[in-house]
Amino acid sequence: MTGPRVGRWALVVGAAGDLGSAIARALRVEGWSLLVADHPSRADPLEHVAAALREDAEAGAGQVVTAAFDVTDAEEVSVTLRALAAEHGVPGAVVVSSGVQGPFRPIQEYDVADAARVLEVNVVGTFSVLAAVGSILAEADRPASIVLLASMAGVSGAPNMSAYSASKAAVIGLARSAAKDLAPHGIRVNSISPAFIGPGVMWNNQVAAQAAVGSQYFSTDPDEVSRQMIGMIPLRRCGTPSEVADVVAWLAGPRSSYVTGQNIEITGGSV
């Protein structure tokens, strides 16, 4: 065949983070070779993740290739992804887990510039990757699965996180729309919405930031905030990054072949 070949490659964007790295490992366990990517400023932790994957005998024997690009630079995203596809093959699975939480404060005190940055990374960045990879996959005209990381903050809203909540609601809508656009090519698009996931950087940041705000919703004591958050979950515990990763691995593979345009909530029962 001419043009980029289609192999069993999975692209994970945002792979240097807690969720991204767990997702990369889960996909490798499922037999995927990996293209793991993150922002250039995250090159060192990304290489650490890649090295750990290569050394993890339980994670499979597939290749692990790293790439760095800024998701908010649409031209850089497109050029980089096309070069990766030409060299390694068109990915059969794509996961976009890059994102930022932004500051924690009530909306009446939220700086518009801070909100714009959150929306730029979480919405425009996700859109840029999805548009570029959608174009590559549609040209290859082969089945594939794309998973976008949203959040329960985008489903039900989260106090003191208006920009983040808005950005993740947009990601859910983006997945649903793109699923319709790409369905004629056999390309599925879904999103996932985790609730409280820990341990990890995002959990620690959220606990500390909510405590610092001092709102009616949470204590000013981080330890008590942690207990309050756990108390909101019927299963009375956080989800783990590996539990999120297992859902993504299922969506990426053939066992979910009739699932598209859906937002899967991973919440321990909280709504």
Q: How far apart are CA 257 and CA 155, in angstroms?
A: 24
Q: Quick check: is 164 catalytic?
A: yes
Residue reference for tokens 């994957």:
53
Exposed / middle / buried, residue 55 (Cβ in 10 Å: 0-12, 13-18, 19+): exposed
Q: CA angle at residue 217 from 216 to 222, to 5 degrees? A: 105
Residues 6+ apart with CB under 8 A from 135: 78
Given the residues 110, 164, 217, 258, select the one marked as catalytic: 164
Q: Which residues, 6 or more positions from 74, have their beta carbon under 8 angstroms from its beta carbon?
A: 128, 131, 132
- With the C-alpha atoms ordered 194, 36, 21, 205, is the resulting torsion angle positive or negative? negative
Token pair listed for 198? 């820990």
Q: How far is the C-alpha of 60 from the C-alpha of 71, rounded, in Å?
A: 28
* Cα distance between residue 149 and residue 153, in whole Å: 12
Give kind and range of the element (H or E) at residue 8: none
Q: How far apart are CA 164 and CA 20, in angstroms?
A: 18
With contact defined as beta carbons under 8 Å apart, do 116 and 123 qualify?
A: no
Catalytic residue IDs = 164
